Amino acid sequence: MSTDEQPTADAAHADVGIVCALKIELASFLDRCEKVKHYTGGDFTFRGGRYDDIRVAVVESGVGFARARRATQALIDAHTPRWVLSCGFSGALLTEMKTGNIVVADSIADTHGQHLDIDLHMEENRDGGLYVGRLVNSDDLVRTVAQKKSIAESSGAIAVDLESLAVAQVCRERKMRFLAVRVISDDMSADLPPEILSILGSTGTMRVGAAFGAMWKRPGSMKDMWRLRESAGKTAERLAIFLDGVLKQLHETKDE
């Protein structure tokens, strides 16, 4: 569906810009878009297309705060969106949360005392899998249940990710309208496999050498990682379904 053709200047402007860390997080959403094109700008990969009548631009930032901040600046400079969304996977900080549940942030904090409120008027529906509350950004991937419990107690957050605060801060500085929509990719039922820390590169790519090394040290690790990948595909589909309604609502506010 995508091509290597770079968008023309007239097609560069977007109604909605989305920052994600990993390609897989928005893959299902982009499958729903038409006339998708992609190009590389600096360190980042951009994809853009049409979702019905909505012009969408997506930038893959890679993992972490610093990359997300630079990617958001690049997205705004290149595509001047009316809305910027931070979208992707997050870890649950509530025991009742399930994989595939949606989190929309009404505030974002980090583990160093920074805090940013978001002007959001959305009712949650926890029985239906929709949570509204605080996101917290961690400096590193939060892998264990024990780590999650500690962060939940200190932050009062309901989910954790690595990028949303960076995106929100840039939008605040640039006076852009912002929304963080995350889907739970790992709940509180079990730790993530330890190999994920070495296999996942900073740009969000799978480090092949590390993957083979992990398999050699613990043969069961490859099975764990394959299971995570299958789950990620289903989780990304859940995010795409929710974004369908979000984008339509945001597009309706274009004249406000």
219/61 Cα distance (integer angstroms): 31
Q: For residue 255, what pLDDT is reported?
A: 52
Q: Domain residue spans in the chain?
A: 9-252
224/221 Cα distance (integer angstroms): 5
pLDDT in tens, 4-31: 444 444 458 999 999 999 998 999 999 9
Residue 3 has pLDDT above 80, yes or no: no
Which regions of 148-195 does DSSP assign to beta strands (E)? 159-161, 177-186
Residue 208 has pLDDT above 70, yes or no: no
Of 115, 85, 88, nearest to 177 (Cα)? 85
**Whole-structure pTM value:** 0.85
27/160 Cα distance (integer angstroms): 21
Q: Which CATH number applies to 9-252?
A: 3.40.50.1580
* Residue with the larger pLDDT of the pair 7 and 162: 162
Q: For residue 43, what pLDDT is reported?
A: 87
**Which contiguous run of DSSP H or E holds residue 145?**
helix 145-155
Of 192, 208, 174, nearest to 138 (Cα)? 192
Average pLDDT over residues 226-246: 86
Query: Do 169 and 110 touch, CB atoms closer than 8 A?
Result: no
Q: For residue 86, what pLDDT is reported?
A: 98
Backbone φ, ψ for residue 230 (5° rounding): -60, -45
Q: For residue 241, what pLDDT is reported?
A: 96
Backbone φ, ψ for residue 95 (5° rounding): -65, -30
Q: For residue 136, what pLDDT is reported?
A: 98
Residue 181 has pLDDT above 70, yes or no: yes
Q: What is the CA radius of gyration of the chain?
A: 18
Q: For residue 217, what pLDDT is reported?
A: 54
Task: Determine how β-strand 130-137 pairs with β-strand 115-117.
Answer: unpaired
User: What integer best gives the mean pLDDT of the chain?
Assistant: 85
